[in-house]
Structure 1
Amino acid sequence: MDNVQYSVVVPLYNEEEVINETYKRLKRIMDSTKESYEIIFVNDGSRDNTLELAREICKYDSNIKLISFSRNFGHQIAITAGMDYSCGKAVIVIDADLQDPPEVIIEMIEKWKEGYEVVYGKRIKREGETFFKKFTASAFYRFLNKMTDINMPVDTGDFRLIDRKVCEALKSAPEHNRYVRGLVSWVGFKQTGVEFVRQERFAGKTKYPLKKMLKLAFDAIALFSHKPLKIAAYFGSILLLMSIVFLLFTLCNGLIVGTILSLLFLLNGVILTALGVIGEYIGRIYDEVKGRPLYIISEREGFK
């Protein structure tokens, strides 16, 4: 379908409780545009009944396509695969949990038709989430902006519309530890936002607990900034200078053994922290030089 106007990419991981409702709402919205579209479900190694339900939807709707991974490769990789196999003039990414309302897609399309090449969803309120979740999410976006070398809009997720030329540009960035929304900011083009209230999850559990959020945060920082390495070097230099001054002071006052031991523990802690930061960067370099594919597809449906 080379004449498809819109491609909607929906990553799926254990979404059996929501997939049918997600399909109904997306279909209603996309049908209302009166233009051609495709919805690409990307099954990211789900362990429940998600794949079977997605297959059933594909059987009865020719606008639905399905990509299924051989295992769980991660949310950002699932988004990437959907973009890789999309053919629409505009590509819309939305999660299946319905926290990002599909109805906002209409506003995004309007902005795209005005000439914007990236239209991201900006959350002005988050319903059904704990104070801790809201606080950590807000802090995450602002800390990320301070640490990285590009300007990324705060309070935004992966829910966005991108023009075909932006999608093609993203294909030239094959990083394994991906942060798609950061890459979209990095490639540039004319961008704007659409504000919306993020809804409570329709059903199921979040796929981004604190552990995954922390990994995503470091992936983003490592992908777009060398600041952690610089900070580690600054701390090392400052503590080295302090240790020399302190050592001279203790030698002059006869306080040698206990003070030296304390300094050794402090310096070893700094060294190990710095090595940990360096190790994270080296690990990501190792991932890239192995040259493995970003994902492996076990089956596809709906594609010609």
Structure 2
Amino acid sequence: MDKELTIIVPVYNEEDNLERVEKELTAYAKSAKIPVKILFVNDGSKDKSQELIEKICANSTIFNFLSFQENRGLSAAIKAGFDETTTNLVGYIDSDLQTAPSDFDLLLEHIGEYDLVTGVRANRKDSFVKNMSSKIANGIRRAFTSDGMDDTGCPLKIIKTDFAKRIPMFKGLHRFLPAMILLQDGKIKQVPVQHFPRIAGEAKYGLWNRLLGPLLDCFAYVWMKKKYINYTIAKKG
């Protein structure tokens, strides 16, 4: 089957970034080696994001959208995107565009052999506090999951859709996507990607949800790992 990619773009109060998102993702879709669709998931934005999203989608057939009635969080937005995806590959990128759409090509080089390929933000352009809190959180998470990933918070990933749809998502589990692929006996890989400063809008995560929140989520993951159902069908008749 020929590869096709749906890129999920979670949006929460990003009206100042959406014009740039349209421009950069349109350019990437035109240059990509495989067909690309873009799916906005508006997570209950209170600004003009939905108005802008509908305008973008009306002007281009490669864009589509879902809009939540209320804010439900990043994991819910990603889960909704997974559920809606009909292509055999699904990825996502944040609407702040601190990662480059063109770097999806770096991930696509490996997705044939692997079931999830994630970016690792090289030379991060964030504050010292943000970088250190993320580094500590990633260390804690690795200790719980043994997934070997250095930067699961990187908002640039590609997953084979059949694996993505089997992930039992709960709030905060977007940080554990590689570990959840391993639970399915899938293969994962990380690839260095570019990182840029946020130039518009506001970050949605503070010290609490970079450190203490992920620590609590680790215990939820451990519980899920013990209860996770995985099986392989030997025959059908």
User: Which bin holds the TM-score, normalised by the shorter protein?
Assistant: 0.7 to 0.9
Question: Which secondary structure state, in structure 1, belongs to the residue aligned with residue 101 of structure 2?
Answer: coil
Contact 1:121 1:160 in 2 (8 A): yes
Task: State the Cα distance separating 1:63 from its structure 2 match.
Answer: 1.1
Give me the TM-score of the superposition, normalised by structure 2.
Answer: 0.85
Q: Which among 183, 196, 205 is matched to residue 202 of structure 2?
A: 205
Q: Sequence identity, in percent?
A: 28
Q: Which one has the bigger helix percentage?
A: 1
Change in Cα spacing, 1:216 to 1:87, as seen in structure 2 (3 Å) is farther
Cα 1:152–1:65 change in 2 (3 A) is: farther
Q: Does 1:187 align with 2:187?
A: no
Contact 1:124/1:155 (<8 A) preserved: no
C-alpha deviation, 1:152, in angstroms: 4.7
2:166 pairs with 1:169: yes
Question: Within 2, Cα distance between the matches of 1:161 and 1:199?
Answer: 20
Deviation at 1:185, TM superposition (A): 1.9
Partners of 1:10 and 1:94 within 8 A in 2: yes
Corresponding letter in the other structure for 1:213: R
Deviation of 1:186 after TM superposition, in Å, equals: 2.4
Q: How far apart, in 1, do the equivalents of 2:63 and 2:195 lie? A: 25
Aligned residue for 1:246?
none
Instruction: Give deviations 1:147-170, integer Å, cap 9, x for gaps.
Output: x14425012324210012212322
Q: Say yes or no: does 1:144 pair with 2:141.
A: yes
Q: CA RMSD in A?
A: 2.0
User: Which residue number in structure 2 is paired with residue 297 of structure 1?
Assistant: none
Ranges in structure 2 where 5+ consecutive residues have no aligned partner: 224-237
Cα shift at 1:210: 1.8
Change (3 A) 1:190 1:80: same
Q: Which stretch shifts more, 71-80 or 202-211?
A: 202-211
1:153 corresponds, among 138, 146, 149, to: 149
Q: CA deviation at 1:111?
A: 1.6
Residue equivalent to 1:125: 123
Rounded to whole Å, the distance in 1 between the matches of 2:100 and 2:152 is 14
CA distance in 1, matches of 2:26, 2:78: 19
Change (3 A) 1:91 1:25: same
1:39-118 matches, within 5 Å, as 39-113=38-112, 115-118=113-116
AA partner of residue 42 (structure 1): V
CA deviation after TM superposition for structure 1 residue 215, in Å: 5.3
Does structure 1 retain, via aligned residues, the 8 Å contact 2:152–2:178?
no
The letter of the residue matching 1:155 is D
- Secondary structure, aligned partner of 1:54: helix
Structure 2: which amino acid aligns with 1:123? R
Q: Quick one: distance in 1 between partners of 2:152 and 2:171?
A: 19
* SS state at 2:55 partner: helix
**Is the alpha carbon distance of 1:123 and 1:4 closer, same or farther for their aligned partners in structure 2, counting shifts above 3 Å?**
closer
Q: TM (normalized to structure 1)?
A: 0.67
CA drift at 1:199: 0.8
Q: Distance in 2 between matches of 1:225 and 1:190?
A: 20
Matches within 5 A, 1:236-275: none
Q: Is the contact between residue 152 and residue 182 of structure 1 (CA under 8 Å) also seen in structure 2?
A: no
Contact 1:29 1:106 in 2 (8 A): no
Give the deviation of 1:30 after TM superposition.
1.7
* Aligned position for 2:230: none
**Offset from partner CA, 1:45-77 (integer Å, 9 cap, x none):** 101000000000011111111100000000111
- Code of the residue aligned with 1:69 in structure 2: it is F
Structure exhibiting the larger radius of gyration computed from Cα positions: 1
Please tell me the residue identity of whatever aligns with 1:186.
Answer: M
